A = this chain, B = another copy of it.
Amino acid sequence: MPGHLLVVPKRSDVPRLADLTAEEVADLFLAVQRAQKVTEVHFSCSASTVSVQDGAAAGRTIEHVHVHVLPRSEGDFANNDDIYEELAKHDKGNDVKWRSQDEMVQEAAAMRQTADKLM
């Protein structure tokens, strides 16, 4: 999905939100707040889904805490909450059409331009 970002702490191998220091929690979600602002302007959206699958039993498949940020528009999914099924599937590898590295690099560059204008 275009604009689907992961916001990830720089410190590596931190499995859970609980393993982050207070400063890192604050920094992570301030980065989420900034990422939302940029994606919503860039994709002309009025909402975002912000989600952490915090632990294996919550559906996390990567052993490092990360926050999903997805720009949302009215009617972007036939059923508004189909997004969660897509989110659940996205890293499972089944029938997922990944964007190419090039496409993602281009998107990141374009979003960075939007960010530079805003901040």
Copies in the complex: 2
Total number of A residues with any Cβ neighbor in B under 8 Å: 39
When each residue 53-69 of chain A gets 1 if its CB lies under 8 Å from chain B and 0 otherwise, what string results?
Answer: 11111111000000000
A50-B80 contact given A26-B26, A29-B26, CB 8 Å threshold: no
- Which residues of the other chain, B, contact A37 by a CB distance below 8 angstroms? 18
Inter-chain contact B58/A49, CB cutoff 8 Å: yes
Q: CA separation between A50 and B66, bound complex, in Å?
A: 11
- Please give, as numbers and ranges, the residues of chain B lying within 8 Å of A45 by CB-CB distance: 57
**A positions within 8 Å CB-CB of B:** 17-18, 20, 22, 25-26, 28-30, 32-33, 36-37, 45-60, 72-74, 76, 80-81, 84-85, 87-88
